[in-house]
Chains A and B, each alone.
Chain A
């Protein structure tokens, strides 16, 4: 049995040489397939290229490329060599070029000496940006100097290298917890936890059919990016470990045309495929009841439709089941789950295969069961004083077991806060009922939009940069429940400016947030200076602000 990722790559090439991976282009029009035997060759070559470029075991390499063969080769090649790959979302599809450059530069600074594999334009664009932004010029120039484009990388003559022979406890890769401009945290994942998490997940997913899903599925169809834990661990590693066929669509292909995903689900035998709630919602929104696409879909082979990575909405579940029942989708195919990068990925699954079920939380809203802990894993719901909550009471979800991460890269403070006495404090709130976990919210002021984590201060900095508060004027960002639409971002901003200039400020705030963070803001509310509740030390009380907003008690100007 494999104990490290290089073992997994060797094993799958030996045991399933004819199965493989098909990677589609960014529009989902054409796919290029390689067998696992061929994959192993390309991974060895890519490792040799990294070595020829001076990369040594333990070095960090950032790979900021769209889902593509060059991404897979570079990422897995780094693992083969024993270097630590970090997958980062590439620049936004429309707009957002500048934000991506700043984000990458911040990450280079944080991870220490690194090499970056990215778009050929990156280096020149970062240099240009450095001239306009003296305050971050140094980090931009450092990133530019470290950047390499994928095309020349692919032509670098490969040195001859041996596969790394890591200890299972050695770190295999770093997973970013948010694509943030502020403080991205790099989660350290050892080989051992990846192997454990995938085997335990395979057992949980396969349980209703009496075994591991590795034995009952033919393929994995994925559109989640590999910089997302559900794409990397939940799709790529699941396929490699189980020797399953993998169909990999770039997220852009799915977002542009959700039917690209649904079609592939009907062409690959017994399939499993995960998505955050918004993915299912997007299918319902884009494909109306009378859409001719529906008639061509065959979802009968989609045995496992995992839903996780953000709040699961009963209305989305019902709408999706209803819309796609005619295409053969079965309600019990829905497999709610809960996970996070700090848990390698999966923590709980609907192990019994009963489909999505919900019950009222103590505060009355319907919440979906995310199931029971995977093998060897324990969950406790803790009170703020550390005591364990009784069944049904809401507290912080804490996790222990062999899939818990090894800490954050170069951030002992954050690690100590998150890992205490062997328990991962997730920051998620929930309750247990009959051994099943129900999530109700978050302890941390974290926004989860379309399955991606965003820190509220990222929106606040951008809003404050527009009104030019210089610290005196503050803002607060939070999300409100948008039903099936998921969480919707709201920013409340203090202003001293004339009322007639607020429309311009509103426009500029939306524009900057859209550009920098690739998200749309549901509402920008302006209030007079001092109207945002703060602690004595001046920290914005976001929870209280949100409540005032919901109660209509903000005193908003417009």
Chain B
């Protein structure tokens, strides 16, 4: 899976779990404040991303994912 495809799929997961349209997601959007990810939902997001993208996100890396843009950047740097 190339980076663009990973980012596209990640957006689809974020959209699905937050009940937003993928096309409306902006990099600046905050997972908690804008998209309503409380901690159980944030973990669901993490595990779903790992499964769909076949990656493992360490706890330390996960702690730094605050926004849609952070997830884009994390995937780009893999």
**Which positions in A face B, CB cutoff 8 Å?**
26-27, 66, 90-97, 100, 119, 121, 252, 255-257, 282, 286, 450, 507-508, 510-511, 514-515, 518-520
Q: Is the CB of B31 within 8 A of A95?
A: yes
Task: Specify which chain A residues have a CB less than 8 angstroms from the CB of B62 in the assembled complex.
Answer: 93-94
Interface string of B21-49 (1 = CB under 8 A from A): 00000000011111011111011111100
Q: Is the CB of B63 within 8 A of A510?
A: no
Q: CA–CA, A119 to B62, complex, Å?
A: 13
B66 at the interface (CB under 8 A from A): yes
Q: Name B46's contact: one of A93, A282, A520 (CB within 8 Å).
A: A93
Task: Specify which chain B residues have a CB less than 8 angstroms from the CB of A255 in the assembled complex.
Answer: 39-40, 43-44
Q: CA–CA, A89 to B26, complex, Å?
A: 31
Q: Is the CB of B43 within 8 A of A252?
A: yes
Q: Is the CB of A256 within 8 A of B64?
A: no
Nearest B-chain residue to A508, judged by Cβ? B33
B60 at the interface (CB under 8 A from A): yes
Q: Name B63's contact: one of A92, A508, A520 (CB within 8 Å).
A: A92
Q: CA–CA, A110 to B27, complex, Å?
A: 39
For the A-B complex with A94-B42, A95-B64, A514-B38 known, give 19 more contacts whose Cβ atoms are closer than 8 Å.
A27-B50, A92-B39, A92-B63, A93-B39, A93-B62, A93-B63, A94-B63, A95-B31, A119-B60, A121-B60, A255-B39, A256-B43, A257-B44, A510-B33, A511-B30, A515-B32, A515-B66, A520-B32, A520-B36
Q: Is the CB of B30 within 8 A of A256?
A: no
Q: CA–CA, A255 to B37, complex, Å?
A: 12
Q: Is the CB of A511 within 8 A of B33?
A: yes
B34 to chain A, nearest CB (A): 7
Task: Specify which chain A residues have a CB less than 8 angstroms from the CB of B59 in the assembled complex.
Answer: 26, 66, 90-91, 93, 119
We find that the number of chain B residues with CB closer than 8 angstroms to chain A is 24
Task: Specify which chain A residues have a CB less than 8 angstroms from the CB of B50 in the assembled complex.
Answer: 27
B65 at the interface (CB under 8 A from A): yes
B58 to chain A, nearest CB (A): 9
Query: Chain A: interface secondary structure?
Result: loop
Q: Is the CB of A94 within 8 A of B33?
A: no
B12 to chain A, nearest CB (A): 18
Q: Is the CB of B44 within 8 A of A256?
A: yes
Q: Is the CB of B34 within 8 A of A94?
A: no
Q: Is the CB of A520 within 8 A of B38?
A: yes
Q: CA–CA, A92 to B33, complex, Å?
A: 15
Q: CA–CA, A356 to B40, complex, Å?
A: 25
Q: Is the CB of B36 within 8 A of A97?
A: no
**Do A97 and B43 contact each other (CB < 8 Å), given the known contacts A66-B59, A510-B33?**
no
Task: Specify which chain A residues have a CB less than 8 angstroms from the CB of B32 in the assembled complex.
Answer: 95, 510-511, 514-515, 520
Task: Specify which chain B residues have a CB less than 8 angstroms from the CB of A508 in the assembled complex.
Answer: 33
Task: Specify which chain B residues have a CB less than 8 angstroms from the CB of A257 in the assembled complex.
Answer: 44, 47
A451 to chain B, nearest CB (A): 12
Q: CA–CA, A511 to B33, complex, Å?
A: 5
Task: Specify which chain A residues have a CB less than 8 angstroms from the CB of B47 in the assembled complex.
Answer: 27, 256-257
Q: Is the CB of A94 within 8 A of B37?
A: yes
Q: List 13 A-B contacts (CB under 8 A).
A: A27-B47, A92-B39, A92-B63, A93-B42, A93-B43, A94-B43, A95-B42, A95-B66, A97-B63, A252-B43, A255-B39, A510-B33, A518-B38
Q: Is the CB of A514 within 8 A of B46?
A: no
**Do A518 and B39 contact each other (CB < 8 Å), given the known contacts A93-B59, A95-B65?**
yes
Task: Specify which chain B residues have a CB less than 8 angstroms from the CB of A94 in the assembled complex.
Answer: 31, 37, 39, 42-43, 45-46, 62-63, 65-66
Per CB-CB distance, the 5 closest pairs between chain A and chain B, nearest first, are A514-B32, A94-B42, A510-B33, A511-B33, A256-B47
Task: Specify which chain A residues have a CB less than 8 angstroms from the CB of B37 in the assembled complex.
Answer: 94, 520
Q: Is the CB of B60 within 8 A of A519?
A: no
Nearest A-chain residue to B66, judged by Cβ? A95
Q: CA–CA, A68 to B27, complex, Å?
A: 34
Q: CA–CA, A342 to B64, complex, Å?
A: 34
Nearest A-chain residue to B71, judged by Cβ? A94
Q: Is the CB of B34 within 8 A of A507?
A: yes
Q: Is the CB of B39 within 8 A of A519?
A: yes
Task: Specify which chain B residues have a CB less than 8 angstroms from the CB of A520 in the assembled complex.
Answer: 32, 36-38
Q: CA–CA, A47 to B40, complex, Å?
A: 34
Nearest B-chain residue to A524, judged by Cβ? B33
Q: CA–CA, A514 to B40, complex, Å?
A: 12
Q: CA–CA, A515 to B67, complex, Å?
A: 11
Nearest A-chain residue to B50, judged by Cβ? A27
B68 to chain A, nearest CB (A): 12
Nearest A-chain residue to B37, judged by Cβ? A94
Q: CA–CA, A93 to B37, complex, Å?
A: 11
B56 to chain A, nearest CB (A): 9
Q: Is the CB of A514 within 8 A of B63?
A: no
Nearest A-chain residue to B70, judged by Cβ? A95
Q: CA–CA, A282 to B41, complex, Å?
A: 10
Give the one of A100, A121, A511 with max B CB within 10 A.
Answer: A511
Task: Specify which chain A residues have a CB less than 8 angstroms from the CB of B31 in the assembled complex.
Answer: 94-95, 514
Task: Specify which chain A residues have a CB less than 8 angstroms from the CB of B38 in the assembled complex.
Answer: 514, 518-520
Q: CA–CA, A27 to B47, complex, Å?
A: 7
Q: CA–CA, A26 to B43, complex, Å?
A: 10
Q: CA–CA, A94 to B41, complex, Å?
A: 10
Task: Specify which chain B residues have a CB less than 8 angstroms from the CB of A515 in the assembled complex.
Answer: 32, 66
Q: Is the CB of B33 within 8 A of A514?
A: yes
Q: CA–CA, A121 to B30, complex, Å?
A: 24
Q: CA–CA, A100 to B59, complex, Å?
A: 13
**Do A282 and B40 contact each other (CB < 8 Å), given the known contacts A507-B30, A515-B32?**
yes
Task: Specify which chain A residues have a CB less than 8 angstroms from the CB of B42 in the assembled complex.
Answer: 92-95
B32 to chain A, nearest CB (A): 3
Q: CA–CA, A146 to B23, complex, Å?
A: 47
A297 to chain B, nearest CB (A): 19
Nearest B-chain residue to A122, judged by Cβ? B60
Task: Specify which chain A residues have a CB less than 8 angstroms from the CB of B40 in the assembled complex.
Answer: 255-256, 282, 450
